[in-house]
Amino acid sequence: MRRLLSAGLLAMSIALATPSFAQKSILVSSTTSTEQSGLFGFILPIYKSKSGVEVKVVAVGTGQALDIGRRGDADVVFVHDKVGEMKFLEEGYSTKRYDVMYNDFVLIGPKSDPAKIAGGKDIKVALQKIGNAKTTFVSRGDKSGTHAAELRYWKDAGIDPNKDMSWYKDTGSGMGPALNTASAMNAYILADRGTWLSFKNRGDLEILVEGDPKLFNQYGVMLVNPEKFPQVKAKEGQAFIDWLISRDGQEVIALYKIDGKQLFFPNAKK
């Protein structure tokens, strides 16, 4: 009995003393669309099975995700606001940005379509009609990549929606909760196609405007600069980035579909 106990204690000691490859992890700050669309739930277990590294995700708006990187509280940022990403680079919080994939934004609204925008291809014209009709529009209002794009589209349309909050509803929430609000209010909303396709509580909402080249939605990934933040797991973080932009990672991203529809289209530069 004593011999068996000693053998068990020895095995436990060896296990504790030996570094476990599977226990390695990195933290990625990312946009809500990559999580709420289900993409991370699909690709990260595959990456872990190949690398042994667990990727933990903090999913917030792109602006917040970049701020997490600015504090050195993440190893990698994976977001979709190129203007914000380039500023992040210029400030020295990363040294290189990589294109990973794209999808597009779509303008969602009630089937009754009080602003009469259905079937349109021009986001500028659609927002002008919504603004002029003062029909309810739900905004994320959370400094996310989607919110930043929405504000650019309003500016291009020559409308400042914040001047009349009676019809413009600033929720300060992620894509999923904002869509829930729009569904409950039967309102218009800008969404990324990936989250919309995975969204179940649609109510009376449907896609009304799509196909404008301005609605292109690019995603990029960056390693947080380890020279600024020595705690950054540079080796593991860069390995994850390298996988995302590799043929293998790009094929896995392309495989993710809902009801046969592809949500994200890989376009890492070879």
pLDDT per residue over 71-125, tens digit each?
999 999 999 999 999 999 999 999 999 999 999 999 999 999 999 999 999 999 9
Contact of 51 with 3, CB cutoff 8 Å: no
Q: Is residue 9 predicted with pLDDT exceeding 70?
A: no
Distance CA 98, CA 268 (A): 7
**Structural domain boundaries in the chain:** 24-102+218-266, 104-215
pLDDT band of residue 23 (cuts 50, 70, 90) is low
Lowest mean pLDDT, pick from 18-22, 131-135, 241-245, 261-265: 18-22
- Phi, psi at residue 256, to the nearest 5°? -75, 120
Mean pLDDT, the chain, as a whole number? 91
State the fold for domain 24-102+218-266.
Answer: D-Maltodextrin-Binding Protein; domain 2 (3.40.190)
Region of residue 27 (phi > 0: left; psi between -120 and 50: alpha; otherwise: beta) = beta
State the fold for domain 104-215.
Answer: D-Maltodextrin-Binding Protein; domain 2 (3.40.190)
Assigned token pair, 133 = 């009709």
Name 246's bridge partners. none
Burial bucket for residue 114 (CB in 10 Å: 0-12, 13-18, 19+): middle
CATH topology agreement for domains 24-102+218-266 and 104-215: yes
* pLDDT tens readout for residues 27-75: 999 999 999 899 999 999 999 999 999 999 999 999 999 999 999 999 9
3-state secondary structure the chain: CHHHHHHHHHHHHHHHHCCCHHHCEEEEEEEHHHHHCCHHHHHHHHHHHHHCCEEEEEEECHHHHHHHHHCCCCCEEEECCHHHHHHHHHCCCCCCEEEEEEEEEEEEEECCCCCCCCCCCCHHHHHHHHHHHCCCEEECCCCCHHHHHHHHHHHHHCCCHHHCCCCEEECCCCHHHHHHHHHHHCCEEEEEHHHHHHCCCCCCEEEEECCCHHHEEEEEEEECCCCCCCCCCHHHHHHHHHHHCCHHHHHHHHHCEECCEECCEECCCC
List of residues 6+ apart from 94 with CB closer than 8 A: 69, 77, 88, 222, 223, 224, 225
Q: Whole-model pTM? A: 0.85
Contact of 180 with 221, CB cutoff 8 Å: no
Q: What percent of the chain has pLDDT over 90?
A: 86
Q: What percent of the chain has pLDDT over 70?
A: 91
